[in-house]
């Protein structure tokens, strides 16, 4: 649970499951996260080998994050959790936004 625990890591992995994103893009998608917390979470995920960071030699510098091969192995688990949340909501008459699967898991 250390690898993906906390408020933001699963959401970060979910969005990166749809392809590479810049920090700015993730800040826009993750409503309520600060730049500092996002940077910390991205560094932890990178240190744990779940995401990769690519720096482009441009001015201004551009950095993109994407799932590593190891991170991609977590997507089926993440989607299972999303589906469970949807089913839970239906059983308890509680509205939960289901997570659409942004990538093809057969790749």
Residue with tokens 């979470």: 41
State percent of the chain over pLDDT 70.
Answer: 89
Alpha carbon of 49 to those of 39, 57, 63, 65, 80: distances in Å?
A: 15, 23, 17, 12, 21
The pLDDT assigned to 85 comes to 84
Asked if 42 contacts 65 with a C-beta cutoff of 8 angstroms, the reply is yes
Q: With a cut of 70, say whether residue 52 has pLDDT above it.
A: yes
pLDDT digits (tens, 9 = 90+) for 36-51: 999 999 999 999 999 9
In this prediction, residue 100 has a pLDDT band, given cuts at 50, 70 and 90, of low
**CA 2 and chain centroid, separation:** 15
Q: What is the mean pLDDT of the chain?
A: 88
pLDDT band at 105 (very low <50, low <70, confident <90, very high): very low
Lookup: tokens for 5: 């625990």
Calpha distance 105→60 (Å, rounded):
35
Q: What is the pLDDT of residues 64-89, one digit of tens each?
A: 999 999 999 999 999 888 888 888 88
Query: For 8, what's the count of Cα atoms within 13 Å in the CB-facing half-sphere?
Result: 19
Residue 80 burial class via C-beta count within 10 angstroms: exposed 0-12, middle 13-18, buried 19 and up = exposed
What pLDDT sits at residue 16? 95
Under the banding of pLDDT at 50, 70 and 90, the label for residue 102 is low
């Amino acid at each position: 649970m250390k690898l993906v625990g906390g408020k933001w890591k699963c959401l970060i992995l979910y969005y990166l499951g749809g392809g590479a994103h810049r920090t700015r893009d993730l800040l826009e998608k993750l409503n309520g996260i600060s730049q500092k917390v996002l940077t910390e979470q991205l560094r932890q995920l990178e240190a744990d080998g779940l995401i990769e960071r690519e720096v482009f030699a441009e001015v201004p510098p551009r950095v993109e994050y994407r799932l590593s091969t190891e991170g991609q192995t977590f997507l089926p688990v993440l989607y299972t959790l999303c589906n469970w949340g949807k089913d839970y909501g239906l059983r308890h008459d509680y509205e939960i936004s289901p997570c659409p699967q942004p990538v093809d898991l057969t790749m």
